[in-house]
Amino acid sequence: MKSNFTYFMPTEIVFGPGTLKKLASLQLPGKKALLVIGSGNSMRKHGYLDRVTNYLKQNGVDYVVYDKILPNPIADHVAEGAKLAKENECDFVIGLGGGSTIDSSKAIAVMAKNPGDYWDYVSGGSGKGMEVKNGALPIVAIPTTAGTGTESDPWAVVTKTETNEKIGFGCKYTYPTLSIVDPELMVSIPPKFTAYQGMDAFFHSVEGYLATVNQPGSDVLALQSISLITENLPKAVEDGNNIEARTALAWASTAAGIVESLSSCISHHSMEHALSAYHPDIPHGAGLIMLSVSYFSFMASKVPDRFVDIAKAMGEEINGATKEEQAISFIKGLKKLIKNIGMEDLSLSGFGVKEDEIEKLSRNAMDTMGGLFQVDPYKLSLEEVMSIYKNCF
């Protein structure tokens, strides 16, 4: 066990089916919210926006709606949302929706209180890594998906379209002050996206367990999340109204977010960010799935030890005399899970990715999200990153 670590998890989490209605009575961190939603119609269609605005009125809180966030959010919309927040004198931000919306809310909350351009504060790539001197507006997260864990971590993933840089940024100010995690808001997610999002949470936990900065608290939650997702994701994909499975996945996602707060993702995420930076129609979870067997097969061959625990958490029988042989049990479990959620036919070529992009993608992953390569359990070379991409075709 590690004897030196820092545990910092400042978010109040209100969890459980039916908890959205508590928005009417909870003490909120301000009196006028910038309410951020996606550019699609789902928040309106399913009545979630109306419910949230009604509860805010009951709580005596005013609001302004910003509704342009894309599935792969962009820096231009962060600037636009922050401008709207300042013009309307909003004193906190609510993110209602999936990871892209809540991530954007965090970035908007920073830029509503700090000068310059969002990319001035981003670390990595062409970001300037400036200090966030003025803090951020308080953030309330209301996730309607189970996957990103953004309700319980500080990270905001945003793309700078001019340079194809998709980078995760966060600081102590970008943890949500309050998160309301109501699994009833997740029953409307179609099977395909349930699968993509659930696997995002799965990989957050796997990567957080493997990262060199793992710690006792992150280990416990990572293995629990992996176990819950293995058991419940196929059930939720098959029957979206299964509230028990949805609740298990909602907690697995939130727990995986805490894992990201206490530990870190590794370069599997960097490699996916490069993919969806150049191909923004690739859902993040789909990109992770398509890279996963190649990536983790390589890592398991180099640093097998912790893969054995993950395989056990998935309920796999551990076969083989050596650690390397035992680690392959995780790859078997991973392939089985991908098949059980109907994603075994996903392919990079199906999303228009070509083999001649491999070097460009590899360099982008290592340049823009190089920090995650620093916490890998095995240090990858450019040639090895390229070989992992190549084995995905």
Q: Compute the C-alpha angle 292/194/391, nearest 5°.
A: 15
Q: At what angle do helices 284-302 and 323-340 cross, to 10 degrees?
A: 160
At 180 the pLDDT is 98
Cβ atoms 144, 99 nearer than 8 A: no
Q: pTM of the full predicted structure?
A: 0.97
Cβ atoms 282, 74 nearer than 8 A: no
At 244 the pLDDT is 98
pLDDT tens-place values along the chain, 393 residues long: 778 998 999 999 999 999 999 999 999 999 999 999 999 999 999 999 999 999 999 999 999 999 999 999 999 999 999 999 999 999 999 999 999 999 999 999 999 999 999 999 999 999 999 999 999 999 999 999 999 999 999 999 999 999 999 999 999 999 999 999 999 999 999 999 999 999 999 999 999 999 999 999 999 999 999 999 999 999 999 999 999 999 999 999 999 999 999 999 999 999 999 999 999 999 999 999 999 999 999 999 999 999 999 999 999 999 888 999 999 999 999 999 999 999 999 999 999 999 999 999 999 999 999 999 999 999 999 999 999 999 999
In angstroms, the Cα distances linking 333 to 50, 91, 236, 255, 326 are 42, 47, 18, 21, 12
At 272 the pLDDT is 98
At 22 the pLDDT is 98
Strands 165-169 and 156-160: antiparallel
| Spacing of C-alpha 206 from chain mean position | 13
Place of tokens 């982008």: 364
Q: At what angle do helices 382-390 and 267-278 cross, to 10 degrees?
A: 60
How many whole angstroms separate alpha carbon 94 and alpha carbon 73? Answer: 16
How many whole angstroms separate alpha carbon 84 and alpha carbon 126? Answer: 26
Query: What is the distance in angstroms between the CA of the first residue and the CA of the last residue of the chain?
Result: 39
In angstroms, the Cα distances linking 61 to 91, 92, 141, 240, 324 are 11, 11, 16, 33, 57
In this structure, which amino acid lies at residue 260? E
Cβ atoms 222, 263 nearer than 8 A: yes
How many whole angstroms separate alpha carbon 190 and alpha carbon 261? Answer: 28
At 156 the pLDDT is 97
At 321 the pLDDT is 83
Number of helices (H), then strands (E), belonging to the chain: the values are 14, 8
Cβ atoms 171, 132 nearer than 8 A: yes
Query: 33 has which bridge partners?
Result: 63, 92
**Mean pLDDT for the chain overall:** 97
How many whole angstroms separate alpha carbon 81 and alpha carbon 68? Answer: 9
